[in-house]
């Protein structure tokens, strides 16, 4: 609704219209209470939260940023103490998140645009030493390329520490007939350091890692391609290329979604509609996260996104006002 379309309204209404922000339409906005945006413990999520907060501010909402752990945020989100969490990795969030969604205590607003996944990652230059990569079959003849003094003649996979959960890499070695051994990577920092050192020394490494992650904006990495995931792959040995083993498939894709307190849609209807439009892709997310992790200010990076994508986000706000 434009100011011109309100000319016949009385003076008080006109003054209210002038006082509202550029995209604000009071009847559609709902409550004037602040929207509480969760800020989790990783860079990508912080970027999404800051960008989303700026979008909602453009629409006339007050946004508060609240520090919240990725696991501990679920209870306050279901109670309305938090309003929205911008980057929920559904597989990682596990049964607790699924149960709250099933019970209607948390609602999924929609996708973020990010495509989450985990898998075996290697420096791109390794393809020259192991012909056939990124196909998994190439590893049958390349265990020596990825071996170390500790694992020779087996190839080495730098895997997650045990307390991070099972990646089922050992099961995949068996299912695919690969002569590899998993060793604990110790920490996220240690695994990324190993990838950097691999490229500096031109000595290939294979590591279990996940994306989107800023390391992919820093280094030229690729991931091993396996048969597409199916639920039966994890439970039914007769499924897939190895009739005697499970896990003869790739990792399960990890949907990354925006989650909210169910009351958000009624309390702040236009804000909810704006977040339904929100999208960012892996490449952009990883590039921005890499900037922040290399010293750029979080707010400045969010402002950069807003400037670069003004046409896109203005269309989101326009769509939500119809």
pTM for this model (two decimals): 0.88
**Higher local confidence (pLDDT), 37 or 27:** 37
**Higher local confidence (pLDDT), 177 or 25:** 177
pLDDT per position as a tens digit, 135-159:
999 999 999 999 999 999 999 999 9
Looking at residue 320, its pLDDT comes to 85
Residue 16 has pLDDT above 50, yes or no: no
Distance from chain centroid for Cα 183: 26
Q: How many helices (H) and strands (E) in the chain?
A: 13, 9
Residue 20 has pLDDT above 70, yes or no: no
pLDDT per position as a tens digit, 166-203:
999 999 999 999 999 999 999 999 999 999 999 999 99
Q: Detail the DSSP E strand segments found in 97-152.
A: 107-123
Q: Which domains does the chain have, with CATH numbers?
A: 4-106+261-320 (3.40.190.10), 116-254 (3.40.190.100)
Looking at residue 305, its pLDDT comes to 97
Quote the CA–CA distance of 54 and 49 in Å, as a whole number.
9
pLDDT per position as a tens digit, 210-258:
999 999 999 999 999 999 999 999 999 999 999 999 999 999 999 999 9
Could you tell me the pLDDT band of residue 25, with boundaries at 50, 70 and 90? low
Quote the CA–CA distance of 25 and 40 in Å, as a whole number.
31
Looking at residue 139, its pLDDT comes to 98
Residue 9 has pLDDT above 60, yes or no: no
Residue 275: both structure tokens together: 């977040």
Could you tell me the pLDDT band of residue 22, with boundaries at 50, 70 and 90? low
pLDDT per position as a tens digit, 37-68:
999 999 999 999 999 999 999 999 999 999 99
Quote the CA–CA distance of 141 and 264 in Å, as a whole number.
55
pLDDT per position as a tens digit, 83-128:
999 999 998 888 999 999 999 999 999 999 999 999 999 999 999 9
Quote the CA–CA distance of 166 and 185 in Å, as a whole number.
13
Residue 17 has pLDDT above 50, yes or no: no
Looking at residue 143, its pLDDT comes to 97
Q: What percent of the chain has pLDDT over 70?
A: 92
pLDDT per position as a tens digit, 201-212:
999 999 999 999
Are 244 and 157 contacting, i.e. CB atoms less than 8 angstroms apart? no
Residue 301 has pLDDT above 60, yes or no: yes
């Amino acid at each position: 609704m434009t100011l011109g379309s309100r000319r016949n309204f009385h003076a008080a209404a006109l003054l209210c219209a002038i006082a509202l922000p550029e995209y604000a339409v009071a009847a559609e906005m709902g409550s004037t209470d602040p929207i509480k945006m969760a800020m989790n413990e990783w860079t990508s999520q912080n970027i999404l939260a800051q960008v989303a907060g700026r979008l909602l501010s453009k629409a006339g909402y007050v946004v508060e940023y609240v520090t919240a752990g990725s696991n501990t945020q679920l209870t306050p989100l279901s109670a309305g103490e938090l309003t929205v969490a911008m980057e929920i990795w559904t597989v990682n969030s596990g049964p607790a998140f699924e149960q709250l969604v099933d019970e209607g205590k948390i609602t999924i607003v929609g996708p973020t645009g990010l495509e989450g996944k985990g898998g075996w990652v290697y420096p791109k230059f390794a393809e020259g030493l192991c012909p056939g990569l990124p196909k998994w079959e190439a590893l049958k003849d390349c265990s020596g390329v990825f071996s170390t003094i500790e694992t020779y003649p087996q190839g080495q996979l730098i895997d997650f520490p045990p307390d991070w959960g099972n990646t089922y890499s050992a099961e995949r070695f068996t299912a695919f007939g690969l002569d590899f051994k998993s060793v604990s990577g110790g920490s996220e920092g240690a695994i990324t350091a190993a990838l950097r050192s691999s490229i500096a020394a031109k000595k290939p490494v294979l590591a279990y890692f996940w994306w989107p992650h800023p390391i992919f904006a820093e280094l030229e990495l690729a991931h091993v391609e396996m048969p597409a995931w199916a639920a039966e792959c994890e439970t039914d040995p007769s499924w897939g290329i190895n009739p005697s083993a499970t896990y003869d498939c790739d990792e399960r894709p990890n949907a990354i979604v925006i989650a909210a307190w169910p009351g958000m849609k009624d309390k702040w209807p236009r804000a909810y509609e704006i977040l339904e439009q929100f999208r960012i892709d892996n490449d952009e997310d990883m590039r921005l996260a890499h900037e922040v992790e290399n010293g750029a200010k979080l707010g400045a990076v969010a402002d950069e996104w807003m400037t670069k994508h003004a046409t896109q986000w203005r269309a989101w706000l326009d769509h939500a006002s119809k």
